[in-house]
Amino acid sequence: MAQRPIIILPDPKLRLVSAKIERVDDPLRRLIDDMIETMHEAPGVGLAAIQVAEPIRLLVVDVAKKEEEPDPQVFINPEIVWSSEERATYEEGCLSIPEYYAEVERPASVRASALDRDGKLREVLAEGLLATVLQHEIDHLDGVLFIDHISKLKRDRVIKKFQKAAKRAGDGSHVL
Ligand code: NI
């Protein structure tokens, strides 16, 4: 297993719509293992393949608490098949938008279908944190970021901040 570099805003790849996965095979399972390691090391509770620059419909999630055993879950070609009318608000962050957090309101529960790492179709009823993480990660597969769910004013501000940081890095200057 190996960690993979995580791409960050304003990398245009984050806006790609990821492609459906046609075959669940060993190379895919190696990517899955790399993504789980990358997510755990970051640390984060979810990671979409596009965040390691692979534009395919795959994500990994682990919402186990720190004192619990790790419990990584794999979702291949995930789809939300039902969302509750009830909504919930969580403070969200994203490994591709480091050190920025904002409250986002989404459906409180969702039912999602996906293939697992053996290519078997399964359905999950997700509530609480898992529901939020799944929706956040599935958004990534469609090029949508959590900042798209906040006000345009706040979004423009955070995008500008990351554009400036990328430009500084590109100039070869250093923040001391
Ligand atoms: Ni994210």
- Tell whether 1 is covered by a domain: no
Catalytic residues: 137
Q: What is the model's pLDDT at position 85?
A: 98
Q: Is the pLDDT of residue 120 over 80?
A: yes
Distance 97 CA to ligand 1 centre (A): 7
Q: Is the pLDDT of residue 60 over 60?
A: yes
Q: How does residue 66 score in pLDDT terms, banded at 50, 70 and 90?
A: confident
Whether the CB-CB separation of 136 and 94 falls below 8 Å is answered with yes
Distance 22 CA to ligand 1 centre (A): 24
- Tell whether 5 is covered by a domain: no
State what percent of residues in the chain have pLDDT above 70: 97
- Tell whether 2 is covered by a domain: no
- Tell whether 174 is covered by a domain: no
Total domains in the fold of the chain? 1
> What one-letter code names the amino acid at 175?
V
Q: Is the pLDDT of residue 79 over 70?
A: yes
We report the CATH number of the domain holding residue 68 as 3.90.45.10
pTM of the model: 0.95
Q: How does residue 174 score in pLDDT terms, banded at 50, 70 and 90?
A: low
Distance 170 CA to ligand 1 centre (A): 24
Q: What is the model's pLDDT at position 111?
A: 98
Q: What is the model's pLDDT at position 172?
A: 64
Domain of 135? 12-169
State what percent of residues in the chain have pLDDT above 90: 93
Mean pLDDT over 33-47 rounds to 97
Distance 68 CA to ligand 1 centre (A): 23
Distance 108 CA to ligand 1 centre (A): 18
> What one-letter code names the amino acid at 48?
A
Beta strands in 73-161 (DSSP E): 73-83, 87-94, 97-107, 109-115, 121-127
Whether the CB-CB separation of 42 and 127 falls below 8 Å is answered with no
